[in-house]
Amino acid sequence: MSEDKNEDTSPELIFEKTSENTNMRESSYLYKYGSLVLLCLQNVVVILVMRHTRSRPGDMYLSSTAVIMTEILKLITSLVIVFCQEGRSLSRFLQHLNENITQKPVDCLKISIPSFIYVLQNNLLYLAVSNLDAATFQVSYQLKLLATALFSVIMLKKPLSRMQWCSLVILFIGVSIVQFQPHDPSKSEATNQSPALGMIAVLASCLMSGFAGVYFEKILKGTVQSIWLRNIQLASIGIVLGILTMLINDGKVLYEKGFFFGYDGLVWFVICVQSFGGLMVAMVVKYADNILKGFATSSAIIISCITSMILFDFQLSLQFSIGASFVMLSLYIYNRYTIKIISNKHPA
């Protein structure tokens, strides 16, 4: 007995266990912050290119078809990943899908709620980007952080510190300042844009994003199914709902011009990058949380502003600069106190 005890508490074994725990912790941080950085870059690229495809002259593609193609790519990617995880065995793969999807209709019904919301949200995003410049959209869309925080407190009982709430108030003030900046009516008429319509679409999208994101986080963290299996469910239902939405809103145009009318390389690029971003969101929700995800995404504002000035002749006004600075300040405050809370819970 004494030998076993000494063997279990030997310095070599303790060192191995400590090293293993350290590696697991470092791996967790790598997944967490690596996915956040990639998500930030994805947000910059997809909004800028999407804005270009929705404001350039020529044939305009149907946004509803782009939403469907995005879901199809997400479904294919998730299926391939699950297939590889099951040892590339077709029988095991099909059995896994049958056990976790086909035989669990109630579970799929739960997933249909965020899936339906995401389909509507994605269609609203195209409407918002079509009526707002990229930089203004990036700033305004950060209101989803406030919606996410409120739903996190209500649905997940997640406490926020006083300083975190202050950062959210600063965020709201910053976005409000940006939105109340004067717009040039002649420029809006020339580009056939409606900033008011764009803002309404952004606000609705923010509320949907906040609720669906927190709901999906609750499902992911309260289940044994992998995020890829959940994405198969999410994308499959999203495709069906997207087709129904497309037929209702664009059925006549679809019949006259076809599904892929107006598509080119850039449109396909937007679809691919947006599909990748959807999978990145699922990873971030799994390894981090929705609020941290949202604040990391807001750092894309700076890059979007600079790029918009170069590519889209965006005029950086004093009012916009003040509002964007408020948003950046809220990012700094929130991250600082989030790190402090994590450090207190998990001291070195």
Query: 158 near 317, Cβ under 8 Å?
Result: no
Express each pLDDT in 119-177 by its tens digit. Answer: 898 889 888 888 888 778 877 887 887 888 888 888 888 887 888 888 888 888 888 88
For 169, other C-beta atoms within 10 Å of its C-beta total 12
Residues 87, 27: contact at Cβ < 8 Å? no
Q: Which residues contact 235 (CB under 8 A, 6 or more apart)?
A: 71, 72, 74, 75, 78, 115
So what's the pLDDT on residue 339? 54
Contact, 295 vs 335, CB < 8 A? yes
223 — alpha (psi -120 to 50), left (phi > 0) or beta? beta
Residue pair 47/205 in contact by the 8 Å Cβ criterion: no
Q: Yes or no: say if 284 and 39 are a contact pair by the CB < 8 Å rule.
A: yes
Q: Helices H, strands E: what count in the chain?
A: 15, 0
Whether the CB-CB separation of 70 and 275 falls below 8 Å is answered with yes
Most confidently modeled range among 244-253, 284-293, 314-323 = 244-253
**pLDDT over threshold 80, residue 234:** yes
Under DSSP, the state recorded for 100 is I
The residue written with tokens 């508490």 in the block is 9
First to last CA, the chain: 33
Burial (CB < 10 A; 0-12, 13-18, 19+), residue 218, is middle
Q: How confident is the model at residue 190 (pLDDT cuts 50, 70, 90)?
A: very low
Burial-class residue 135 by CB neighbours within 10 Å (0-12, 13-18, 19+).
Answer: buried
Cβ–Cβ < 8 Å for 61, 152: no
Residue 6 has pLDDT above 60, yes or no: no
Cα–Cα distance measured from residue 229 to residue 235, given in angstroms and rounded to the nearest whole number: 10
- As given in the structure block, the two tokens for residue 325 are 């600075």
Give me 31's structure tokens. 């997944």
Provide the 10 A C-beta neighbour count for residue 16. 11
Give the pLDDT confidence of 200-214 residue by residue, as tens digits. Answer: 998 899 899 889 888
pLDDT tens per residue, range 254-283: 999 999 999 999 999 989 888 877 666 656
Q: What is the pLDDT of residues 19-57, one digit of tens each?
A: 555 555 555 566 666 666 776 777 777 778 888 888 888
CA dist 323 → 57, 97, 139, 293, 320 (Å)? 31, 48, 8, 21, 5
Residue 253 class from Cβ within 10 Å (0-12 exposed, 13-18 middle, 19+ buried)?
middle
pLDDT at 189 over 60: no
Instruction: Evaluate if residue 348 carries a pLDDT over 50.
Output: no
Crossing angle between the packed helical segments 265-287 and 290-298, to the nearest 10 degrees: 140
Q: Are 320 and 181 in contact (CB under 8 A)?
A: yes
**Average pLDDT of the chain, as a whole number:** 77
Which pTM value belongs to this model? 0.72
